[in-house]
Homo-oligomer: A and B are copies of this chain.
Amino acid sequence: MTASFTLSLKQAWRRADSMLCVGLDPDPARLPAPLHGKADATFQFCRAIVDATADLVCAFKPQIAYFAAQRAEDQLEALIAHIHAHHPGIPVVLDAKRGDIGSTAEQYAREAFERYKADAVTVNPYMGFDSIEPWLAHAGRGVFLLCRTSNPGGADLQSLDVSQGVSQGLVGHERLYERVARLASGSWNRGGELGLVVGATVPAELARVRELAPELPLLVPGIGAQGGDVAATVQAGSSTDGTGMLINSSRAILYAGKGDDFAAAARQAALETRDAINRFRRPQP
């Protein structure tokens, strides 16, 4: 762990020449056959994926729900400790989508940063800035705010036009997710460690977020199993230096193989995804 998530992410982009983030969503129903019946199968599975792909990624993103539903918090702790010990410099983004206020938010921040020792976390912005502030008190840790999510229902609230009667001088419309991007890129970004979660399924919206938040790291789910187009995603979301994104793939990598070869198959899928991303990256400086 370095003193700044943003800095360690920039180093990881360069070191691995990669914007691929591997999502660790260990579904017990989909674990490969050799692990069936083992008490710590979840940890063993994720550790094998991590060790097989670590040189190809800019970050790992464990999803806490898959551990919590199985009463496997200890395996999540062990997994993150393994990443820090054996792959130092690769940031861990804990995908928890927490969101609460005051002393409760402080407890969630302790859970993510002190208990699990994550370098960054995903947070839901619906409760406003004072629900984000307690996370920012942990200097150097990253906070990715949900902005425009990749699911069809993401539009239900996030795409509502909020420009009415608010900003008098505003030309055109502003959607709720654009407001979140504008705030995260501006007054909310105390400490400079905010990022945004933006789905890959609508490249025009990803491009709009990049326009509103030119400097923020974007965590982008939705390629692979969710069907987003790699070329359009990279072109829409990259920052001017050809980096700026954590393009997440979970299932397409985790479950590339079903038998003894699952880790090798995951590596092959990760390699192909990284290279597909790199084919469309802007030239690096």
Stretch in A13-21, A100-108, A232-240 with 4+ CB within 8 Å of B: A100-108
Complex Cα spacing A149 to B99, Å: 11
Q: Which residues of B contact A115 (CB under 8 A)?
A: 68-69, 71
Q: Given A104-B63, A166-B160 in contact, is the A69-B111 Cβ separation under 8 Å?
A: yes
Whether A130 contacts B152 by the Cβ 8 Å rule is: yes
Most chain B CB neighbours (cut-off 10 Å) among A65, A108, A146, A180: A65
The answer to whether the Cβ of A211 comes within 8 Å of any Cβ in the partner chain is no
Q: Which residues of B contact A157 (CB under 8 A)?
A: 125-126, 128, 176, 179-180
The answer to whether the Cβ of A110 comes within 8 Å of any Cβ in the partner chain is yes
Complex Cα spacing A102 to B150, Å: 11
**A223-267 interface (Cβ within 8 A of B):** none
The answer to whether the Cβ of A97 comes within 8 Å of any Cβ in the partner chain is yes
Q: Mark A104-138, 1 if CB is under 8 A from B, else 0.
A: 11011011001100000000111111110000000
Whether A107 contacts B66 by the Cβ 8 Å rule is: yes
Q: Given A124-B126, A164-B173, A166-B161 in contact, is the A108-B156 Cβ separation under 8 Å?
A: no
**Which of B97, B103, B110, B176 interacts with A98 by CB under 8 Å?**
B97
Instruction: Enumerate 13 A-B pairs (CB-CB under 8 Å) in ascending A order.
Output: A25-B103, A68-B111, A69-B108, A97-B98, A97-B100, A99-B146, A126-B126, A126-B146, A126-B157, A128-B149, A130-B153, A156-B183, A160-B176
Known: A68-B73, A126-B146, A160-B176. 14 other contacts (CB 8 A): A27-B107, A63-B104, A69-B108, A69-B111, A125-B157, A127-B146, A127-B154, A160-B160, A160-B166, A161-B162, A161-B166, A164-B173, A165-B173, A176-B176
